[in-house]
Amino acid sequence: MPEILAIPEGTTRITNEEYFGSYDPTVYHNPAAAVDVVLVDPELRVRLIRRQNPPDHLKLALPGAFVLVDETLADTARRAVRRYAPEITGEVRPLQMRVFDSIHRDPRDRVLSHAHLCPVPTAYPDIDGWVAIEATLLWDLAFDHALILLEAVDQLRRRVWDSEVMSAFLPDRFTITEYKAVVERCTRQGYNTSNLRKKLLTENVICPVGEKGQGKRTLYAFSSEFSDPQSVP
């Protein structure tokens, strides 16, 4: 055995039980963990709330919460959605973006925000608090939430072909027109409907599952074996 890996003679092994019996977690001042959620609908409106307490009292902010000791980050995100966006009744699928860890981002304490993108399939134009994401980017929002929204816009543009994102935006059964509308809003580009349909079908991204309406528009669903397209003509 290499010498560097050898246990020195006379070393007393300390068991986990012995160590935690005298361990004091307050010795280290650990950062608090929080989750901020970018809830965005198919028309690229985001859910903002009005802060009811300091800091940044009465400023607009993203829904969020501190992580409890018995929660995963996704659990915390779902709890924040239930509390601040009760209009959303279905299951939500939070997708981690990145950690925002600026030292002074929260004046109360050292707080790390694990920002999540959470697309939803239903538009809420008539409910207060849903606003166009582009309109929010120049607003004076609480904490660093303007930066989180900028990251969300960038991720929507880059991840629009990601099955997790698109399947969260769309209902279980959708038309090519609905699919195309979401893609074009996220990328700010136009796409040929026929080329888009051919690409998605060829790569087994979607499959036809029926028809609807008097015009017999074809309905699609995401295929069980998904292959992410990297580009669409």
State the pTM of this model. 0.85
Per-residue pLDDT at 14: 87
Per-residue pLDDT at 165: 92
Q: Does domain 30-158 have CATH number 3.40.50.11540?
A: no
Give the pairing type, strands 111-119 and 32-40. parallel
Per-residue pLDDT at 3: 65
* Mean pLDDT score, 15-31: 86
Per-residue pLDDT at 129: 96
pLDDT digits (tens, 9 = 90+) for 78-90: 999 999 999 998 8
How many whole angstroms separate alpha carbon 178 and alpha carbon 222? 13
Per-residue pLDDT at 226: 44
* Mean pLDDT score, 94-106: 96
| Residue tagged 């959708």 (tokens) | 174
Confidence grade of residue 44 (pLDDT, cut at 50, 70, 90): very high
pLDDT digits (tens, 9 = 90+) for 184-230: 999 999 999 999 999 999 999 999 998 877 667 899 999 864 444 44
Per-residue pLDDT at 10: 85
Contact assessment for residue 40 and residue 131, using Cβ atoms and an 8 Å cutoff:
no
> Please, what is the average pLDDT of the chain?
91
Strands, DSSP E only, in the chain?
32-40, 45-47, 49-50, 60-61, 64-66, 95-100, 111-119, 130-132, 206-212, 217-222
Ramachandran assignment for 10, one of left (phi > 0), alpha (psi -120 to 50 degrees), beta (any other): left
Residue 2 has pLDDT above 60, yes or no: no
